[in-house]
Chain A
């Protein structure tokens, strides 16, 4: 192994890559602009839509209840819903989203309450439709308060305390620090993005530096120079790794900026307090990058090996593109609730990093698992790299026709 040759190859590939628009797009533009654009854009649009829906008073029809003027009057007096005249096609109008909900007041509702007889209100809605859901919430809240008033009046009539029917309250309070709450909410997504980006960042250079070289006819020239194959592989490998880690780094920086800008936007809009935003343990976040490092080595070496087998860039793409699923699957499993880290899962590549990263950004450091995952990831990465060197020494792969 000759480090001078490795550096020569690395620097040439770096220069070559920095002059390639396609690599720069996948390495810098996508992680820097697309990710925050996606997160902020979707967040902004959905916030606007929800806000608009909430600020619109939903139209509700009342079915029956002609003999219950008290209930109808109280309902009509509610400012948070708008009672509109009832029509025969009320079901169709709910389906057409012209009316958000309908409330059925049974015959003799007021009288039944007076007598203390059982009775029930029925709400009709468009299941899964956001604005209909808001209308149902308002109608339900109104009738719950209406019921509480009736109960309070009945108890007062009998000179009984309210605690008779409500002996105690049940309250809950969050004691977890904000970074742990944040870790649970978005902690799983962070390693998922990092793993995916470290893979996609390595994809294009790996294909270009192997199958691309074969296709363009530059591989033969480099192989006829006196450098050892291992130097050639390592020079190219370090370049692919640089691209992979740069993608992660750019996404890390842009993600940080996204949080700062997004938080400021939310705080300014008054929609949420800063404290309500999920926060992450910064050291945990750095540790996630540390855990992604051997994964990036594994991806870079594996992609080099697979791409080298292809005769052309197009063929390499057909081998490499489906592998994104292989990355996404374990990363998504790591996001599922109930999937907890254990010694066996700590040996499953990608999934192990995904699971431990969720804990890391929440500020939980399982040192034994961290050592096991980092160690096993390094072993997998070393195997992939050794395989890449072996592939570069195979004539049937290098000169595959």
Chain B
């Protein structure tokens, strides 16, 4: 479960002064649910997810992930989270198996457990053909599968996806979408950020529209359609962001 309470993050920039990346963002994600964080570039999606993954510390507000406080129990939070972003890459000089094992070890797993789990993930993701090849020679699809396996090696209860399909071709993006659905089916708590309207329509149980660092609207797709009188997600988003603008 994820619970964000008035999460606020302010950066200080020499030229631009104080930048409020997120302002009092509050939401809740329960197990077996995909929460879609929808927003344009610079809306505060990545900052929110980095706060939840404890990569950043909140300026104000608080959050708990899998029952652990993101500030006080940061290491425990990270032990229960799988973080996948389009911007995160693989170590080119390691093989897929070595990459997965590395993250398994960092998550405190025993060598035997890593071996079993790698085998299972390779079966599920159809990775056997390239498991012992170096990542710098991989296609986008192979890289995505390896990234997914790396994220899942310790079987986290919470999954955080930060625009995971950005820059991917249709086939690679479909692999990701299928994988996100699998996570929900296994009862994991999932938060998924994107600026692609169709993805939230297809994937997300609850949608939060973030703009200018603030969460402006939240609800299921049906609830948002009813509230804003629009069928298309894009129209709803424009209405929400436009009202604010």
Contact = CB atoms under 8 A, between A and B. Distances in A.
Tell which of A216, A222, A224 has the most Cβ of chain B within 10 Å: A224
Interface in A216-243: 216-218, 220-228
A399 interface: yes
Contact of B98 (A15, A221, A399): A15
A243 to B, nearest CB: 15
Contacts of B81: 224
B42 to A, nearest CB: 11
B139 interface: no
Nearest to A224: B83
Contacts of B85: 220
Interface residues of B, number: 31
A225 B107 contact: yes
Interface string B36-52: 00000000000000100
Interface string B78-93: 1101010101111111
B5 interface: no
A217 B147 CA distance: 12
A227 B54 CA distance: 12
Interface string A142-182: 00000000000000000000000000000000000000000
B76 interface: yes
A216 B92 contact: yes
A222 to B, nearest CB: 8
Tell which of B53, B85, B102 has the most Cβ of chain A within 10 Å: B102
B94 interface: yes
A16 B150 contact: no
A224 B80 CA distance: 10
A399 B56 contact: yes
B137 interface: no
Interface residues of chain A: helix, strand, loop or mixed (majority): helix
Contact of A225 (B50, B76, B94, B106): B106
B78 A226 contact: yes
A397 to B, nearest CB: 12
A96 interface: no
Given A221-B83, A226-B78, A16 B91 contact: yes
Interface string B162-188: 000000000000000000000000000
A314 interface: no
A9 to B, nearest CB: 8
Given A217-B87, A217-B88, A217-B89, A228 B75 contact: yes
Contacts of A226: 75-76, 78-79, 106-108
B106 A218 contact: no
B94 A216 contact: no
Contacts of B54: 224
Given A12-B102, A226-B106, A226-B107, A220 B55 contact: yes
Contact of A218 (B79, B88, B107): B88
B72 to A, nearest CB: 14
B105 interface: yes
B89 A216 contact: yes
A225 B79 CA distance: 7
A89 interface: no
B26 interface: no
Contacts of B98: 12, 15
Interface in A188-228: 216-218, 220-228
B115 interface: no
A19 interface: yes
A16 B11 CA distance: 34
A218 B55 contact: no
B220 interface: no
B130 interface: no
Interface string B140-171: 00000000001000000000000000000000
A16 B75 contact: no
B88 A16 contact: no
A20 B108 contact: no
Nearest to A5: B106
A395 B90 CA distance: 22
Tell which of A5, A20, A220 has the most Cβ of chain B within 10 Å: A220
B103 interface: yes
A396 interface: yes
Contacts of A12: 91, 94, 98, 102
Contact of B55 (A8, A223, A228): A223
- Sort A-B residue pairs by CB-CB distance and give the 3 closest, nearest first: A217-B89, A224-B83, A226-B79
Interface of B: 11-12, 50, 53-57, 75-76, 78-79, 81, 83, 85, 87-94, 98, 102-103, 105-108, 150
23 contacts: A8-B106, A12-B91, A12-B98, A15-B94, A15-B98, A217-B87, A218-B88, A218-B90, A220-B55, A220-B88, A221-B83, A221-B88, A221-B89, A223-B55, A224-B78, A225-B103, A226-B79, A226-B107, A227-B106, A228-B75, A395-B57, A396-B12, A399-B56
Given A220-B83, A220-B88, 6 more contacts: A8-B105, A19-B93, A216-B89, A216-B92, A224-B83, A395-B55
Interface of A: 5, 8-9, 12, 15-16, 19-20, 216-218, 220-228, 395-396, 398-399
